[in-house]
Amino acid sequence: MRVTRFFCLLLVIAGTKVHAETTLQSTENTVTQAAFKEILPKAANDVPFWFMTVDVTAFSAVRDTAVAEYAMLDGATPFGPIYNEVTSDQLTAAPRISIGGTVKNGWGFQTTYWDFSQSTHRGFNGLPPGGLTGAGLEIFGESASSRAYTFDVEATRQFTTMATLFTGTLGARYALLEHTDNSMAVGIANTASVLGPDIYTMSSQAKTGFHGTGLTYSLSGIYPTTNWLSLYGGGRLSNLFGSNEASANTHIVGTGETGRTTANAAADSSSADHLFIFEGQVGLMWHHNLKSRNSKIFARAGFEYQYWNSPDDPAQALSSGALIPNSSALHVVEAVDLETHFVGFSLGAGYAW
């Protein structure tokens, strides 16, 4: 009799636990479904909808700058070599606009445009440079700029699993990446001359760039934490094929008691090559359902990182000039590779209807 009562008690406890777990799971599913309806009210009912998103991304373009080297010989006294020091990693805002829609069964399309342009300048205060009062060599001006943009046209597919709303995309991308570095130096030699010193002005420009078209594909997810706040994250890969180009130019002008000297050099290279891009982002998204208009507004903020890289396409230029027998100057510049890290964050808002 006691054994029978014991087993009955176990069955009651087990039944209560199963009922509690079922109730909890049902409650979680209800909360998740309600949150999804807040995120995409029409998508939850498989109703076609449109959306538009405007992001302000802010990136620091971390890359190597072109190596510019300057050297001068004043009689038997050497000056240099000295090298450029400017960097192009200042935080810069760049807009990104996405427009798209979902047609049926989670299938849809979107198009996205992103444009980044950054430039850094240092010096360029005129001749002679303030720090050079006698014989010597000094860089008095340099700049570094970067330009990148992408244009995507993609098919999209939305689905839900693991309490997360996922969006997968596959499409075509056109992209451009360019780096331009300039520098200028001045050298003063033969200062004992009664007719005036020898003055050298040296300048250079180095450019690297890629433009091409290829495939882009991504997967992003939205995980609702409440009916109005969600976590989001995603990653994207792009493999593009196009033209990889590099150029380097140097220029020297020297004037002194023995006359004038001019020297120029240029190097160019180009090849059909590929560019690889990785993009990752993670952040928070706020959303609010406008029931009167059967639409929603949302805003988001998060960390974002992009990695761009293409095989090296070398270019180097060298110029040398002399005012015999008093002095001479040498200038070399070499274009660098395209490897770039875009590190920053994004702030955005959108509307779905």
Selection from 111, 60, 47 nearest residue 87 by Cα: 60
The answer to whether 79 and 327 have CB atoms below 8 angstroms apart is no
Burial class (CB in 10 A: 0-12, 13-18, 19+), 148: buried
- Is 10 strand, coil or helix? helix
pLDDT in tens, 197-206: 999 999 999 9
Q: Which pLDDT value is given to residue 124?
A: 53
Sites in the chain below the pLDDT cut of 70: 1-47, 124-133
The answer to whether 41 and 94 have CB atoms below 8 angstroms apart is no
Q: Strand 91-104 to strand 49-62: parallel, antiparallel, or no bridges (unpaired)?
A: antiparallel
Burial class (CB in 10 A: 0-12, 13-18, 19+), 45: exposed
> DSSP H helical segments within the chain, as ranges?
2-39
Contacts of 304 (CB under 8 A, 6+ apart): 57, 59, 279, 280, 281, 342, 344, 345, 346
The answer to whether 143 and 122 have CB atoms below 8 angstroms apart is yes
The answer to whether 346 and 55 have CB atoms below 8 angstroms apart is yes
Positive or negative CA dihedral for 24, 29, 32, 37? negative
Q: Which pLDDT value is given to residue 45?
A: 55
The answer to whether 142 and 182 have CB atoms below 8 angstroms apart is yes
- Is 20 strand, coil or helix? helix
pLDDT in tens, 104-157: 888 999 999 999 999 988 775 555 555 566 888 888 889 999 999 999 999 999
Q: Which pLDDT value is given to residue 52?
A: 95
